[in-house]
Amino acid sequence: MTVMSYLGAIGAAQREAMEADPRVIIMGEDVEANVYGTMGGGKSRADKGDFLQMFGASRIRNTPISEEVMVGAAAGAAMTGLRPIVDLSYSSFLYMAMDQFVNQVAKNRYMFGGQASLPVVFRSAMFFGLNTGAHHSDRPYPMFMNVPGLKIMVPATPTDAKGLLRTAVDMDDPVLSFEACILWGLKEEVEDGEFKIPFGVARTHRQGTDVTIVGISTGVHAALQAAQKLEAEGISAEVIDPRTMVPLDSEAILTSVAKTGRLVIVDPAHTTCSAAAEISAIVAEKAFDCLKAPIMRVTTPDTQIPFSPAIEKQLYPDAAKTIAAVKRAMESRRRAA
């Protein structure tokens, strides 16, 4: 095991993928110089030379400042045999290439009757919580959950960031990776060498009996902090991280809810049509009889993100809001039919 940051884990996964398969390339705006984890696992700019020397300019491709060009070129490269990893920087920039994502990347395998594959990973950083304003603070993974043909990962820990990314590179379908940059500096012990985490398999961070808390992205850490404090008050919370939103491990969530009878979902995206809304619907449809209380969602209000640090901080889910939601669930009783 090696202590590794979230960003370092992403860089390590990319290096290992490029070492394992000569078809893997990295594309993006100024990727030769950035330190988003593309070069040397989040190390200093001084390390970029070794990385470039190892793989060469033919496998590390700077692109024009055009998301439509990046996504379209990567799709074409994937269909002709390469396995691109595309660094799209801010997740809000994905909107610039919506036609490419929705009409080309997501649909081409179906439109060609399965004769084409699109083994491409699109990485983007969600810059919420860092006072970057409305244009740079979006958490758009719920929007792309509505597009058939795309797989979506939202890693919350260094281990999951590394293992899921290695799996994503080897898949024959397009994958969107949404990485909360507020987690970049998070460190933990990560397994040495190459390992892969399958998509569609949730991670249970903590066992519990009174309430299920499903956390997404930074919501995982809010849930874990809340669970620790709730334990001191005699409330046992089970914390689950789906890790991938498409495919979603609904069975793990349903099994947990069947045990606890209560569900709280902590999702930093906006409330309406969120991942939390989809999970709520699944549980309401398939495990309604197991519920002892209404499902609670802890999300970000349906408002644009302000520049003001003081105002922005209050919008997102945190441990205090999660604890309050759990206590409401513990005190509620579903009305008898």
Catalytic residues: 136
Task: Copy the structure tokens of residue 279.
Answer: 């999970």
Calpha distance 148→106 (Å, rounded): 7
- Cis-peptide, bond into residue 247, ω within 30° of zero: yes
In SS3 terms, 25-67 reads as EEEECCCCCCCCCCCCCCCCHHHHHHHHHHHCCCCEEECCCCH
Calpha distance 248→145 (Å, rounded): 10
Calpha distance 85→95 (Å, rounded): 18
Tokens 């080897």 locate to 170
The angle subtended at Cα 299 by Cα 254 and Cα 132, nearest 5°, is 135
Q: Let me know: does 150 contact 178? Beta carbons within 8 Å.
A: no
Q: Position 54: which residue type?
A: M
